[in-house]
């Protein structure tokens, strides 16, 4: 996972300009900063900046328009190539890889074009919560992006707009 993320990043020596990026909520739940995720790699942003949601529903939708580039065989993570900004990784829960797909049902495949709000996955969070360290749905940008959480610690609806704002630095 870490190697996949590092391969997708930009050079540190680029000349930068800023673009604002828009995302929708991938799931209904409590929106939070990565600082409040119980995983050191996520908190330190070793895999990129982003946001997390404590899910209150089973449906996970695409937060961006793009193309699915990877669905892990254990169904715990999905990568999407973004039409309008940085590629993203949606990581569903912590320690969920060891479930080997149990409790997950995929509605997407590699190469599929998706729009904001399209159903990607259903997860039986109630059925897996006692077997994993966290059920947080984590969205990570695979490029140099800083996120501002606009509705931190608030309940957001699945597909809701204006929950976070990403500021992307990219080559001119």
Active site residues: 91
As a whole number of angstroms, the distance between CA 97 and CA 70 comes to: 15
Residue 69 in contact with residue 81, Cβ under 8 Å? yes
Greatest C-alpha distance within the chain: 47
Beta-bridge partner residues of 104: 123
As a whole number of angstroms, the distance between CA 144 and CA 98 comes to: 29
As a whole number of angstroms, the distance between CA 58 and CA 39 comes to: 22
21: left (phi over 0), alpha (psi -120 to 50) or beta: beta
SS3 content of the chain, % helix, strand, coil (to 5): 15, 40, 45
């Amino acid at each position: 996972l870490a190697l996949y993320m590092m391969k997708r990043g930009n050079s540190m020596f680029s000349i930068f300009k800023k673009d604002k990026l828009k995302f929708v909520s991938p799931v209904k739940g409590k929106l939070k900063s990565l600082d409040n995720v119980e995983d050191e790699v996520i908190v330190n942003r070793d895999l990129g900046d982003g946001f997390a949601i404590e899910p209150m529903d089973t449906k996970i939708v695409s937060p961006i328009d793009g193309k699915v580039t990877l669905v892990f065989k254990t169904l715990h993570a999905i990568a999407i190539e973004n039409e309008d900004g940085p590629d993203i990784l949606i990581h569903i829960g912590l320690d969920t890889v060891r479930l080997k797909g149990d409790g997950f049902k995929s509605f997407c495949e590699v190469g599929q074009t998706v729009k904001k709000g399209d159903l990607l996955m259903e997860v039986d969070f109630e059925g897996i919560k006692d077997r994993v360290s966290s059920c947080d749905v984590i969205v990570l940008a695979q490029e140099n992006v800083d996120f501002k959480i606009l509705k931190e610690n608030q309940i957001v609806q699945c597909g809701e707009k204006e929950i976070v704002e990403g500021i992307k630095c990219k080559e001119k």
